[in-house]
Amino acid sequence: MQGIITAAVIIVIIVIVLINCIRIVPQESEYVVERLGKYHTTWSAGMHLKMPIIDQVRRRVLLKEQVADFAPQPVITKDNVTMQIDSVVYFKVMESKLYTYGVENPIMAMENLTATTLRNIIGDLTLDETLTSRDRINSQMLAIIDEATDAWGIRVNRVELKNIQPPTAIREAMEKQMKAEREKRAAILQAEGEKQSMILQAEGKKESAVLNAEAAKQATILAAEAEKQKEIEEATGRAEAIRKVQEAQADGIRMLKEAGADEAVIRLRSLEALQGVANGQATKIIIPSDIASLTGLIEGVKEAVK
């Protein structure tokens, strides 16, 4: 009975040991394994069997892209302005063995490297250059840090300056300067607007005067044409009236001629003219010498009528 219990205990111990020797590596992770204190292998994602006692997982390495947000660092610019700058580094472990054995604490080492690199770069720039050259600073830091971390199995993808904090006095002076610049730009824009408004008004008045002059000229032309047309029509009417009168007189004379009364008509016309002269304001009247014959003609006409 005692032997059976002992065997069962041994079997349980073996099962527990075997279970403890099974390791499952998650996706996007790697395990660095040492055997007897020396690097043995690197386990990728999946299930692995660890030799009891002699094998040991030295480090669990995450292969995803990671973000290291470093605390603000005091830096001094070229013009002796001290400011606080914090940075963010985006990196990814490319070689788990180098990441494990290349440096004691990779994150701390990278933070110190970032701080010293930042101080060196900012030391060659003035305050204004620092505030306006973030892209250049990020590019320089990325090139330097990525090259230095290759020996640690790390690839740096991006480096960003998250915040730049100048001293309070500098910030107040900058705010005053920015306010003055804004007021200046506002005044310039207002002056430009007023100038443009005056120009537009002058151009509007000029165009209005031109249009009025054109309208007046057109009206004068139309009035002259209307007056001309009116005179033409009146002259045409008078000419037509004269022509009608002349035609009527010609028709009367022609009818009298056809009736054979040419001499009588002429004498009657002379008598009518004499009567018209007598009715006027003339003080002297000249009587034709053949007035007696004309009177006889009239008497003859009367007798013929009877």
C-alpha dihedral sign at 97, 102, 105, 106: negative
Q: Is residue 260 part of a domain?
A: yes
Q: Residue 273 — very low, low, confident or very high, per pLDDT cuts 50/70/90?
A: low
Q: What is the pLDDT of residue 129?
A: 86
Q: Tell me if 123 sits within 8 A of 80, measured CB to CB.
A: no
96 lies in the same domain as 55: no
- The DSSP bridge pattern shows strands 55-62 and 38-43 to be unpaired
57: domain range? 2-61
Q: Is residue 35 part of a domain?
A: yes
CATH no. for residue 157? 3.30.479.30
Question: Phi and psi dihedrals of 64, rounded to 5?
Answer: -70, 160
45 lies in the same domain as 26: yes
84 lies in the same domain as 53: no
Q: Is residue 34 part of a domain?
A: yes
151 lies in the same domain as 222: no
For 260: left if phi > 0, alpha if psi spans -120 to 50, otherwise beta; the answer is: left
150 lies in the same domain as 215: no
| Structural domain count, the chain | 3
Q: Is residue 24 part of a domain?
A: yes
260-283: average pLDDT: 55
DSSP helix/strand/coil, 33: strand
- Which residue in 49, 9, 11 sits closest to 33, CA to CA? 49
Taking only the tens place, the pLDDT of each residue in 174-191 is: 778 788 888 888 889 888
Q: Is residue 216 part of a domain?
A: yes
- Greater model confidence, 93 or 264: 93
34 lies in the same domain as 119: no
The residue behind tokens 């009518």 is: 272
146 lies in the same domain as 204: no
